[in-house]
Amino acid sequence: MQTIRREIIDENICVLTFDRPNSAANIFDRATLNELDEHLDAVAADAKIAGVILISAKPAIFIAGADLHALGKLGEGDLRHFIELGQNVFNKIAALKIPTIAAIHGACVGGGYEICLACDYRIATPDRATKIGLPETKLGILPAWGGSTRLPRLIGVPRALDVILGGKTPPAKQALRLGMIDEIAPREHLLRAARRVIARGVPRRKKGALQLPLVNAAIGSVIVPAVRKKLMRKTRGHYPALFKALEVVTAAASSWNENDSFARERDAILELAKTDACKNLLRVFMLQERARKLVFAPDVSAPPITRVAVIGAGVMGAAIAQWLSARGLRVILRDIDAERVAAGMARIAQLYDAGVKRRLFDKREARDGLDRISPAAMEVPLDNVDLVIEAAVEKMDLKKKIFAHLDELAGRNTIIATNTSALSVSEIAAATKNPGRVVGIHFFNPVHQMQLVEVGIARETSKEAAQRALRFVQKIEKLPVIVRDHPGFLVNRILLPYLAEAGRFFEMGASVADVDEAMLDFGMPMGPLRLIDEVGVDIAADVAATLAAKFPERMTVPNVLHGMIAAGMLGRKNGRGFYLHRKGAEPVPNRDAEQFRESDSAAHVDRAELQRRMVLLMVNEAARCIEERVVDEAADVDFGMIMGTGFAPFRGGPLRFADASGITRICAELAHLAEVAGPHYAPCELLAQMAESGKTFYEN
């Protein structure tokens, strides 16, 4: 199977075009590297060739790096050979005596960017699809085909560490500012621009102070301790790839010997590949890829959704409308009066302004995005709209009223979706004459940061509506998980018992610091009490009340939440919750919240015990989601919790964590806690059965 075409064009320039057959992506597997090696030998043997251009034939991908599916299955010996093969082939490019130009359009990440680093010059298109960088540390590994060696020599140690440790893949304009590429050219002129560089000669790169090994060594001695301290504070030491990358990058930048540096890259990735963190992070990547290709009903037609209306211009409705308009969709933003619609449009403008500041959009793109939104403070026709998304407050009576009205306004083929996070989609759909077209599309807050979307399938949701909703979520660059219509769906169903238990610990005397630090030590991105503040104390109480009504035997709303709401302590939104939130400052515990404590029985429970109890509640509820078929597979649970709550990715999710801890042990601990701490800890039936039979959630 040929994956690279070699042709000689005018001026004796060799163009190597990457075009993997029957695939939307170009990747590096062993066969592709061997094929590239042969092409490079032919180039080196032909004295007539004046230069080489690397380019892709794919519409949205240059090269997406190594074949990670194969990478995760390689034994140590095969992995060593694979890494050395990539290094040797890329070194051949670097050693060519003629100019080598990378002409980049689309995703250029991992090994795809490392081959560009081996070239003399890099040109990229400014298109939205073009992302350039080294995300390997997010997978528990590091750039090992020369990236950890060449990038710090190209752009200096501080910038290289920022890119590699952050796993960043900036767009072309930002990559140009960082020095990661040398030029930007429109896609239609990309090849011409590369030929022009060869014709005029590749500019000699000035060796600035940051690129000198001796100076880099001095810089490294200063910044490494500070960066290591920052990493430890951020990760609690759970992500070994970050610390190993720091070591390899700084050593590379301060060494004259590239071969030694390549050996360090190779040895580091061989070491990291053995870690549980790497294995779990690779699994998370595979689950993300799975979500992008997910199909609900492959035999059902799913016409694309291009016209959308959002009902409700509050925080969520405005954020959803902004996200959709930024992806080229035309959106009607509807609310009951001009004041609410104006407030929603102001929120959208703020989101675009923030995106411009973060260089996600330029000013023209932001203006065009705003222009695609049509504000509506009065009734407008919806018969030509493909999808209506309701984003009103979480009140069942109100949602039923809205859906009954939308059922009359919407066209016959229009899908009507609710953004509810906990209410029954089936009950909402019952208010319509055609419940088959009603589906849940639950975005997470903040919409512009959270990738997960729960696609909620109600009892009467048609296959066509479900498939179109799923395709829509994938089209707007979100990651879907299909959930059946159960209280709280998947993420909130598992999250709420955890948050409620954190609230109970606080009202029983545990400190804010102990509760939150316990879970930060576990690997959560934010402590549970801080998360309640971010969500809103009132909103957390409402969702908890909805679930408590459905599961009164094991779920309650902590009294502390009611007390805080009555006292106006609503969290970040008004600056007071479990923490005091001041602009520009780190939140600090709010001592005034302690007035709502009911005892001191948890005051001396250590952090390890607090952590274990809260984690076990999540594991137990996650198992119930499998038991009740909220989702079909353990992978769905783990994917949803990692993408929806940030559940420690290096642990692989609550059910992967349960397997690693031992189901029998988990079940025994829950049974013990049910006796000493309350019946809400009692292990679910599925866990008890698995403990007895010796089964696990995963086979490997």
CB neighbourhood size of 638 (10 A): 27
Q: Token match 């994938």: residue? A: 474
189 in active site: no
Report the C-alpha gap between 670 and 665 in whole angstroms: 9
Residue type, 567: A
Q: What is the rounded radius of gyration, in angstroms, for the C-alpha atoms of the chain?
A: 27
What tokens appear for 660 in the block? 């690693």
Distances (CA, A) of 477 to 288, 340, 449, 634: 11, 28, 12, 23
Amino acid (one-letter) located at 280: N
**C-alpha dihedral over 544, 545, 551, 552, to 10 degrees?**
120
SS3 label, residue 101: strand
Is the CB of residue 31 less than 8 Å from the CB of residue 85? no
Residue appearing with tokens 């892709």: 56
Catalytic residue among 105, 442, 486, 581: 442
Name the helix (H) or strand (E) containing 196. helix 190-200
Contacts of residue 211, Cβ cutoff 8 Å, sequence gap at least 6: 153, 154, 156
Side chain identity at 516, as an amino acid letter? D
Asked if 125 and 190 touch (Cβ cutoff 8 Å), the reply is: yes
Closest-CA residue to 496 (of 641, 651, 677): 641
- With tokens 């219509």, the residue in question is 485
Cis peptide before 446 (omega within 30 of 0): yes
Alpha helices in 46-75 (DSSP H): 68-71
Tell me which residue of 497, 498, 617, 491 sits closest to 550, measured CA to CA: 497
* Strand ranges, E, within 11-164: 13-18, 51-56, 61-63, 100-104, 107-109, 121-124, 132-133
**Order of strands across the sheet that contains 107-109:** 61-63, 107-109, 132-133
Contact (Cβ atoms closer than 8 angstroms) between residue 525 and residue 669: no
The residues annotated as belonging to the active site are 442
